[in-house]
Structure 1
Amino acid sequence: MSRRPRTVFRPLDGLLLLDKRAGVSSNQALQRVRHLFRAAKGGHTGSLDPLATGLLPICFGEATKIAGLLLGARKAYRTTAVLGVTTDTDDADGQPLREREVPTVDDAAIEAALAPLRGAIVQRAPIYSALKQGGEPLYAKARRGEAIEAPEREVMVHALDLLERQGPRLTLEVECGSGTYVRSLVRDLGESLGCGAHVEVLRRLWVDPFRAPRMYTLEQLQGIVETGGEPALDDCLLPIEAGLAEFPSVQLDAPQAVRFGRGNPAQPEAGPAGPIELVAVYEREGRVLGLGQLDAAGMVHPRRLFTWATQLPGS
């Protein structure tokens, strides 16, 4: 029996906008893509449920240094909620817990149930979630049958709108901040309507700053590498700068870029006035050097450097 050849990894920097398919975890999707690109280092920017599809930004190499920023970004989803059935996972992958009759509701009644779920709300996370309790994910405890008190936390729901109704199925669009569980929104909507509900379909549409993302499925990427080889595959990557497009930025001339790359405060030649907690720092040629903090005196202090910032001529 022949073994698959062992992947020889390579240094690779950039961002991939993956269209995750249903049925795989975010980590499984990451590992498959990482092996396809032969990227030595990779990470994703916030888990999508196995049931979910859509945008999962993948960071390779130095781009992993901004993964946390993308994780905290604003996001949008489209979901199909099924009224009348609750499950232990709050989605269709779980076991049914209770079935109730779906009342006759009109759009006005649904809007009245949606309204309290908008804005800054306190939300209880699903029992089956990646949130950790005592250093262990809640889903691991739930699978062992342990009694769990899922935590509550404040989240931001910028928009929550009904798009379509077909029998017990409601199509909703959600725009929210970091840490919001669409499964919890659907669960709470169902309880407000008196019949319970669970997520049947979930798709992430965008993540800031990628509002109109060009996404690639794993199958598309495999086809690209088979027909065009690795150079064609690498053309699917976005530069790290694309992930920082919405951050305030400052520009350094060559001597100040060297200072910044050595870990010292530097004087920008262009950019906004401080103080600003986090800015993207660029050299004149347009390449990002790292992230910094801009003080009231106009000096930018290094917070996180990309490798090439420490290797500039004159460093």
Structure 2
Amino acid sequence: MFKIIKKQKINGLLLLDKSIGITSNKILQYVKIIFNAQKAGYIGTLDPLASGLLPICFGEYTKFSQYLMNQNKTYLVTALLGEKTNTADKYGFIIKKKNVNLTIKNIFETLNSFKGISKQKPPMYSAIKYKGIPLYKYARRGINIPNLKERIIKIYQIKLINFYQNKIKLQINCSKGTYIRSIIDDLGDQLNCGAHIIKLRRIAISHISIFHKNVITLEQLKILMINYQNHKLNVFLIKKLLLPIDYIIYHIPKLYLSNILIKKIINGEKIKLTSIIDKTQFCIFEKKKFNFIGICQINNKGYIVKCKLMNSVKKFY
């Protein structure tokens, strides 16, 4: 008979350095197996073409992942000028070729035009769903979906790193939901020569950088799994690699409340926080032990109207 191994209830944040050629979901499934985790989810999909920072939340942290997902992202992208492809990356078919005759001044002026708020239509080769089906599946069948809803995006910084032999390297800091392949495709059009991505790497999500000491690759995780016995591996991974909730909710104001108030919040009682003036949401912490309880929404009269709580806290109050 096969022995059924019970999956673990783990809470934490793993910073993974995704390699190219694999989907974000495939990475997630590998990580769940390595950790024997009951529940996990990644923050911010990276295409197989892309590498870089892919945070993975475990357990109850998944319900708070949106607070990090909604933050700015930073990418390093290398594009080839002079060729436009149907996918805006090197895996597509070339649909336009043109000689590149540009100056640094041309490039700087064009890059500056991308800064700020604008509207962006999702590319057909993306995971955005239309009628429940990802757009890239329509694109592979040669079906174009017209009148896709445009998104409001913001480019905070688009910096030229290098320009050599028709290759241009940029660092882009942008809002959630920005498609870098669309930026590069539009850049090629504005430079009147065409362009497509040949390399893409996410180096930061908000304050979390790919250079954080806890960042690890899937290959390194697999080596750890081989070198440690299962029970030792789990202890090592959880203690040494997983980060606390603070990395996800760092930017949200914090309130430290007494056990009595926390118990009332958990029980759904109507609570008014008189000290609240101009904020609409707070992280609630326990005053004595500084334990994270959850995030509360507060109306303009100071009453708590909605809470997203850690399930594990209920048994302690």
TM-score normalised per structure 2: 0.90
| Of 302-311 and 175-184, the range deviating more from structure 2 | 302-311
The Cα shift of 1:148 comes to 2.4
Aligned amino acid, residue 148 of structure 1: I
Structure 2: give runs of 5+ residues left out of the alignment: none
Given the alignment, which residue of 257, 266, 273 partners 1:261? 266
Indicate conservation of the 8 Å contact 1:13/1:63, yes or no.
yes
2-side partners of 1:189 and 1:5: how far apart?
56
1:217 corresponds to: 217
Matched ranges for 1:213-292 at <5 A? 213=212, 214-228=214-228, 229-234=233-238, 235-266=240-271, 273-284=276-287, 285-292=289-296
Matched ranges for 1:4-15 at <5 A? 8-15=6-13
SS at match of 2:199: strand
SS at match of 1:276: coil
Given the alignment, which residue of 136, 139, 151 partners 1:142? 139
SS at match of 1:142: helix
SS at match of 2:172: strand
Indicate conservation of the 8 Å contact 1:71/1:178, yes or no.
yes
Aligned amino acid, residue 250 of structure 1: L
CA pair 7-282 structure 1, distance change in 2 beyond 3 A: same
The Cα shift of 1:225 comes to 3.3
Aligned amino acid, residue 170 of structure 2: L
Identity across the alignment (%): 34
2-side partners of 1:5 and 1:174: how far apart?
49
Indicate conservation of the 8 Å contact 2:115/2:154, yes or no.
yes
Matched ranges for 1:117-132 at <5 A? 117-132=114-129
Count of equivalent residues = 307
1:195 corresponds to: 193
Q: Deviations over 1:112-167 (max 9, x none)?
A: 11122111011222110111222221111111221222442220111001011111
2:107 corresponds to: 110
Q: Deviations over 1:179-228 (max 9, x none)?
A: 10111111111111111100111000111241453311011122233334
Matched ranges for 1:17-56 at <5 A? 17-56=15-54
1-side partners of 2:158 and 2:189: how far apart?
16
Let me know the Cα RMSD of the aligned residues: 2.1
2:82 corresponds to: 84
Indicate conservation of the 8 Å contact 1:290/1:302, yes or no.
no
1-side partners of 2:104 and 2:3: how far apart?
57
Given the alignment, which residue of 305, 308, 311 partners 2:312? 308
Indicate conservation of the 8 Å contact 1:36/1:222, yes or no.
yes
Indicate conservation of the 8 Å contact 1:260/1:302, yes or no.
no
| Of 287-296 and 157-166, the range deviating more from structure 2 | 287-296
Aligned amino acid, residue 253 of structure 2: P
Indicate conservation of the 8 Å contact 1:15/1:57, yes or no.
yes
Indicate conservation of the 8 Å contact 2:293/2:309, yes or no.
yes
CA pair 254-267 structure 1, distance change in 2 beyond 3 A: farther
CA pair 6-22 structure 1, distance change in 2 beyond 3 A: farther
2-side partners of 1:246 and 1:227: how far apart?
38
Indicate conservation of the 8 Å contact 1:46/1:71, yes or no.
yes
Structure 1: give runs of 5+ residues left out of the alignment: none
Indicate conservation of the 8 Å contact 1:86/1:187, yes or no.
yes
